[in-house]
Amino acid sequence: SAYRRLARRLHPDVAGSSEASTEAFRQVVTAYEHLIQEDEEGRRDAERVRQAWADLARYRERTRIKWRAKVRARWKLVSESAEVRSVAAAVAFYSSSQIFTDVFY
């Protein structure tokens, strides 16, 4: 990689221990560490976003299951009531025009 070539060329053991080459080597290493740190932060941020979406999906699924159970329980109570069954049976024998005339005339 470019970093390795530059670091090898500027390393104090290879280039000599002059103040300028040592400072240039420090700058290269610092810049590389900064880039690596930003890359790792980006990966961690992406993992956090992925985890948040997974948590949201699990929450929505749990909520949907609870909601379905509540609706089914309520529907069971309503459908078991005698009044609803009698109205449903009465409506089944009427056509829509008969219901309209019975209600409005």
32 DSSP assignment = H
Strand, coil or helix: what is 61? helix
pLDDT of residue 76: 73
pLDDT of residue 50: 92
Q: Work out the end-to-end distance of the chain between its first and last CA atoms, rounded to an integer number of angstroms.
A: 90
- Residues 7-12 have a mean pLDDT of 84
Backbone angles phi, psi at 95, to 5 degrees: -90, 170
pLDDT per position as a tens digit, 51-94: 999 999 888 888 888 888 887 777 776 666 656 666 666 666 55
Alpha-carbon dihedral 25, 8, 33, 51, rounded to 10 degrees: 170
